[in-house]
Structure 1
Amino acid sequence: MNLRVMGPFQILKRVGSVAYQLALPPQLSNLHGVFHVSQLRTYVSNNSHVIALESVQLKDNLIFKPKPIRIIDKSTKTLRNKVIPLVKVVWEGLTSKEATWELEEEVLRQYPKLVDVGT
């Protein structure tokens, strides 16, 4: 599944040419504070995009796993001779605009009760 967004967090300093150290709150003290630019997004002010830290529950291995709300679209991707079914998933705490394309097989395996757009 794709990474979800938390924050915003203040940038403390640039680390090398492709990473930044962030000021993380005490609830996230188990995480290192340095992140590669590919893991960061420019913050556009909109309170509906922000996940409240109080609602974030990190698993023991420090992975935040949001729950899918619904499937809003289906598609396929063809790679050479293989057709890969995809579904567009809206995630808890995110808007439909931020829905992500996921492998249909994985979504239905992990969330068998998830209702898709066609049912």
Structure 2
Amino acid sequence: MKAAQDRQKSYADLRRRPNEFEVGDKVLLCVSLMKEVVRFGARGKLSPCFIGPFDIVEKVGKLAYRLALPNALAFSRVLDPEASELDESLTYEEQLVRILDKKVHSTRRKDITMVKVLWSNHRSQEATWETEHSMREQYPHFFSQVSKLLGRNFVKGGGRR
């Protein structure tokens, strides 16, 4: 097994070239994908894997560079540590803020009710579609209030009357 791995590695090493850049070069930035989140104007399969090109401003380390990013990619939201409860891994749980829309997704055998959910520390463009059943399980107190407010404003298909 080790001999086969070494042989394959030797083939791959012949085709690999070092990726070192200089100040002034242009590079593409790899973007990690998140399910159902609109990033850079598209979501899902259509969202880009790479964005750019961006200029290299400074070489920070052997393989680390500082890029000239546009203001649109700057961190627009800074969390207040006292306002959000961070755990040991410096993560926090998102909280349901508001339901923006409701629709019914019909399959051959059943109808699935979906709700468009606005999460805490997110903008309305980043709202996600979740199943109403799972949201009712996680936030039952929220839905008792929402059902009174929405009443019969929503009809099958997601539109308003």
The TM-score bracket by the shorter chain reads: 0.5 to 0.7
Q: Find the residue that maps to 2:33 and give its secondary structure.
A: helix
Q: Point out the structure with the larger helix share.
A: 2
Larger RCO (CA under 8 A, 6+ residues apart): 1
Selected match of 1:66 from 94, 106, 109: 94
| Identical positions, percent | 30
Selected match of 2:111 from 69, 75, 83: 83
Q: Point out the structure with the larger strand share.
A: 1
Q: Find the residue that maps to 1:108 and give its secondary structure.
A: helix
Paired residues in the alignment total 82
Selected match of 2:33 from 33, 38, 41: 38
**CA deviation after TM superposition for structure 1 residue 37, in Å:** 3.1
Q: Distance in 2 between matches of 1:111 and 1:101?
A: 15
Indicate yes or no: 2:118 matched with 1:118: no
**CA deviation after TM superposition for structure 1 residue 46, in Å:** 6.2
**What is residue 108 of structure 1 aligned with on the other side?**
136
Q: Distance in 2 between matches of 1:110 and 1:59?
A: 23
In the superposition, the TM-score normalised over structure 1's length comes to: 0.52
Indicate yes or no: 2:57 matched with 1:57: no
Q: Distance in 2 between matches of 1:71 and 1:59?
A: 30
Query: What do you get for the CA RMSD once the two structures are aligned?
Result: 3.3
Deviations 1:91-118 (Å, cap 9, x if unpaired)?
1011122111101011011101214361
Deviations 1:42-68 (Å, cap 9, x if unpaired)?
663462xx35273362377x8642000
Q: Find the residue that maps to 2:141 and give its secondary structure.
A: coil
Indicate yes or no: 2:123 matched with 1:95: yes
Deviant stretches of 4+, over 3 Å: 39-46
Structure 2 segments unaligned to the other structure (5+ residues) = 1-30, 41-71, 152-161
CA spacing shift, 1:39–1:75, aligned 2, 3 Å: closer
Structure 1 segments unaligned to the other structure (5+ residues) = 1-35
Q: Bigger CA drift: 75-84 or 62-71?
A: 62-71
Q: Find the residue that maps to 2:101 and give its secondary structure.
A: strand
CA spacing shift, 1:106–1:51, aligned 2, 3 Å: farther
**Rg larger in 1 or in 2?**
2
Q: Find the residue that maps to 1:70 and give its secondary structure.
A: strand
Q: Distance in 2 between matches of 1:73 and 1:104?
A: 11
In the superposition, the TM-score normalised over structure 2's length comes to: 0.40
